[in-house]
Structure 1
């Protein structure tokens, strides 16, 4: 059986009981050759938050691996500028990060360690960093964190936060070109369908508006046609009355002239009668 590597020894120490770190470090150094022993004795004691992450990385590697798979998908969505996928993965990332941090805190508590809200926040920050940076993901998965990693950490920060070398990420097998093209084609097709659905919905709303306007215009046309018929009937009646008035007017004018002449004659007769009376 091969001797454990420095990284394996370090991982064991960084996931062991925090209170026994110094004594365990000394004991492990006494079991290896001088060169490795010197490196072991130089190991710094991890912070409680880093220890929580280390324990989780080693004992819940499957759950952490699922989170890192999601991280790769998130970065791919960012590279492709796929907004719908980006929003969906972002929501999943926040939910999963919170759940993983809570699970890590519960695992640490089961080992008798008190996990404060600030510790849990630092644990969540390290897991979140793993979603944004492949190097941070590798550092978290190593189980050898000396201190936690902030999402804004630089490569230098990440190297300094890990005992030993920062492990290289295993190369992710790239799908065949045809598969990549098919995936992009599907996304393009989905976007085209979404655009077409929006356009259809817009046109249908416009059609509904046009139908309503047409119904209202037809109803108005009917009302105006009825009103026109009423006015035409009224106009015909008035024209008939006008015709009758024009027909009767000459006779009425002549009758008036005759009456005026008779009135004038009667006035003359009355005047003569008065004068005759006065002469008596």
Structure 2
């Protein structure tokens, strides 16, 4: 399958969960067409209140993504005017994903290299395959540096020492190793990985959306704020839930010893 013959991004919906699928199996390159489509979809999903969780995955079961299609870089420069503009688009899309006020889950399997790791690093949950995953930022082998925020987000995720070890040595680690260092949340057999991502998305979609958005704002931006600023943001998030139908439903369900049903109101 080639992105020249097929749509670069497949969008599937199951209730309040939307799944975005890179449609370039087996390598699932992050082509110009894929990034354009991803930017459009992410922008629309961020504004769609009926969507409560997003899964980002890829077609097939060989690789999540080998990263940017480097052969397209000259085409991208010609289209956008400069290499900086090409990279700026990718940074913009990943920032929008990270700051989306609904949970975004990524599946990591096979090659997850360069942009194929930087995209999952912008997501809120990362699930990896137990076998076969090769996860890393190999830009050193190309004489370069991660260009889509990988150095910053990987450091925040796993700490300075682990980030330096992975980036400077161009290491490619397995799913279990990624779990050990805190890079991913869960590891599953490849045959179960995508189903588990969907189950997690449905679980998160059942949570109260206003409260979920508040938690994401507080936690995602915590590293950018002082403690006092973080506490103030948390207070704003709490007050936004007070008196909502979901907050009232949560209290009633607790007193009635049943599971709450949240509507997003």
Larger Rg: 1
TM normalised by structure 1 equals 0.22
Task: Specify which structure has the higher proportion of strand.
Answer: 2
TM normalised by structure 2 equals 0.23
Task: Specify which structure has the higher proportion of helix.
Answer: 1
